[in-house]
Amino acid sequence: MTSMADPSETQTPLTALPENAGVDAAVAAARRVIEALLHAGGNSAAEMVQVAERLDQISAHLAEHAPDREERLVDMWRGEGVTRHDPVTGPENAIAPPLHLAGLPDGSVRGTVTLGLAYQGPPGSVHGGVSALLLDHALGVANDWGPGPAGMTGTLTLRYHRVTPLFRELTVVARQVSFSGRKIKTTGEITVDGEVCVSADGLFIDAFIDRPR
């Protein structure tokens, strides 16, 4: 694919940033719990039972004070919508790394992320499905940022060039390369230290072909 822009260029944030101090702190703590549980898997069964009891108390408290599910689904799509809660970039979603993406003047998008044990596939390496998740999302954001329509994923083709390491800063880049009729073509890649780990070619379908341009 065409090389991406120099990261020193002016960047426009394209993913939601934390803005709710209470929620941000709770989600950050939940991420630490997930990571710590994976690291502590060899601890004694008795100790982990105690941990489970404490976590159940927290879960029950949150559930007791939560709105109805349907109300919550509607609320999540208000304002910035899914960007605040999606599993890739959402600052309020504890399973999101999260990946922060920015738009560059040349029409590409770029972001960095470091993945821990929660995203492991082969030992010490990122699960291939997680790489696909990151790239599918980045390509979608590139379509929103690019010159053409956005659309929905039709086909996502991945090539795994080498293992993608955990605990290393990964760079995710994507770019919309063409659009014709309902078809939108977008490419992206995950790199580490300048070496490509995974590349992607996406075909997206514009579901709103008759909308005014």
Residue 76: its pLDDT value, please? 78
Separation CA 29–CA 145 (nearest Å):
32
Residue 157: its pLDDT value, please? 98
Tokens of 133: 């998740």
CB atoms within 10 A of CB 202: 26
User: What tens digit of pLDDT does each residue of 27-85 get?
Assistant: 999 999 999 999 887 778 888 999 999 999 999 999 999 888 888 888 777 766 678 88
Report residue 115 CA to chain centroid gap.
Answer: 11
Tokens of 157: 């083709």
Sign of CA dihedral 94, 136, 164, 108: negative
Give percent of the chain with pLDDT exceeding 90. 68
Model confidence, pTM: 0.87
Question: What domains are there in the chain, each with its CATH number?
Answer: 99-205 (3.10.129.10)
For residues 34 and 94, is the Cβ–Cβ distance under 8 A? yes
